[in-house]
Amino acid sequence: MAAALPLALCLLPAPTAAQVTGLEIRGYYLNVATGSLEGPFTPAGVTDFQRLRLSMSPEFGVVGLDIAYEQGLQLYTDSELGGLLFASLGDIETQTPWLPLQGTIIEGDHARWTNRVDRLSVRAPIGDRVEVSAGREAVSWATTLFLTPADPFAPFDPADPFRDYRSGVDVARVQVYAGTFSQFDAVVNPTKVGDETNLTALVRATTLVGRWELGGWGGMIYDRAGAAVSATVTTGGVAFRGEVSVRDEPDETVWRTAVGADRNFVLAGRDLYMAVEYQYDGFGAASGTDLVPTLLSVPYSRGELQVLGRHEAALQAMWQASPLVSFDWLTLWSLSDGSVLLSPAASMSLSNEITGRAGMYLGFGSETRPAPSIPGAPVADLPASEYGVVPTSLYLSVTAYF
């Protein structure tokens, strides 16, 4: 696949000036201010996260480019807040990049300034049914909406309310459109964690059979064998979704699965959207005592875990109260340790291009447990639940597109 794209580009005729389009630059600015109370492992404080994203999609005849560059600036009153859960909503650095297209510009006791080329890919057709691409681009194979353990490419944090852009991953890709409702997608994705490089090489097929959308992928994921199947069907106005993957890991076989349902309702004459999902993740913590080993695990370091619990449930509700105002509610429930995260929020359209948002995070559950005692070592506490350690916090944000 890596050789197919340069060959295709060489065979294509050079575009004329009239064939060059899409040179306009689009922009996105996000500012999120967060205030947090003291938590079991973090002090009380204030953070401010800012992101500026510039993108363009020029086309030179039949050859297209996708380019996006981001800068992120995080300011905090205490250096320990730099790693606070939900404080850096929408961090722009992924954990497993292969191409050297990101880095930290400045980092100090009260600030961290980063940048990243989030898209840098070229795509070209080969005939009418095949498209090849290479570089950093967004790839999503998710079937469920919030908890997506069978998606092997940079899954979203389900608690992040600013999911405007999916992080790009470094791939060589071939897409084959076999028919109106059938598609094959082959992706090679090298990743790097520390000094270790892994390779993911997968082929996915999707098709439509009656009301069922069926899919599956298989191949090598992080140098190990893996496969997945997925299905979506809509009946009675409800969309039912499910996905399950199996991984051949050292000394064990790991299953990861999620099922969910979502539907639109009408409440007081306005749209109400609700989704509920359940996830089982063999990589997750079976109980609160397994949280620290999970945080130190290889799958977590690769960014594969959206949540920490082995058994998790999610509930999302969004109500469009008026053309300008909407309310939403997110609940994440770790069935493994009983802790719950609640996040109510409201959004308002301030203009055609500007949106304001306010929300909260409320964590409930056991906070700490004593660490095993070691003679002569200082006494320390460990987290007892996934969401019990999350401090109460309030955020205000402004998002502008230009």
pLDDT in tens, 259-316: 999 999 999 999 999 999 999 999 999 999 999 999 999 999 898 999 999 999 999 9
Rg (CA), the chain: 22
Provide the pLDDT for residue 13: 54
pLDDT(2) > 50? no
Query: How far apart (Å, rounded) are the C-alpha atoms in residues 170 and 192?
Result: 11
Look up tokens 């600036």; give the residue: 73
pLDDT(386) > 60? yes
Q: What is the mean pLDDT of residues 33-54?
A: 91
Dihedral class, residue 48 (left if φ above 0, else alpha if ψ from -120 to 50, else beta)? beta
Query: How far apart (Å, rounded) are the C-alpha atoms in residues 74 and 57?
Result: 28
Provide the pLDDT for residue 1: 47
Assigned token pair, 369: 């447990």
Q: Which has the minimum average pLDDT: 158-167, 235-244, 324-333, 384-393?
A: 158-167
Provide the pLDDT for residue 157: 86
- 155: helix, coil or strand? coil
What secondary structure letter does DSSP report for 1? -
Query: How far apart (Å, rounded) are the C-alpha atoms in residues 320 and 323?
Result: 7
* Residue 233 near residue 240, CB atoms below 8 Å: yes
Per CATH, the number for 4-12+21-401 is: 2.40.160.10
What secondary structure letter does DSSP report for 7? H
pLDDT(203) > 90? yes
pLDDT one-digit tens code per residue, 325-346: 999 999 999 999 999 999 999 9
pLDDT one-digit tens code per residue, 107-118: 988 898 999 999
- The alpha carbon dihedral of 10, 16, 19, 24 has a sign of positive
Q: What is the largest CA-CA distance in the chain?
A: 77
Query: How far apart (Å, rounded) are the C-alpha atoms in residues 5 and 201?
Result: 17
* 135 contact partners, CB below 8 Å, separation of at least 6: 66, 99, 119, 120, 121, 122, 170, 171
* Residue 269 near residue 278, CB atoms below 8 Å: no
Measured CA distances, 114 to 71, 102, 117, 171, 186 (Å): 6, 8, 11, 23, 32
* 290 contact partners, CB below 8 Å, separation of at least 6: none
pLDDT one-digit tens code per residue, 131-175: 999 999 999 999 999 999 999 998 888 888 888 888 899 999 999
Question: Can you say how many angstroms the Cα of residue 280 is from the centroid of all Cα atoms in its chain?
Answer: 18
* Residue 305 near residue 312, CB atoms below 8 Å: no
233-239 contacts, C-beta under 8 A, 24 or more apart: 235/211, 237/263, 237/264, 238/262, 238/263, 239/263
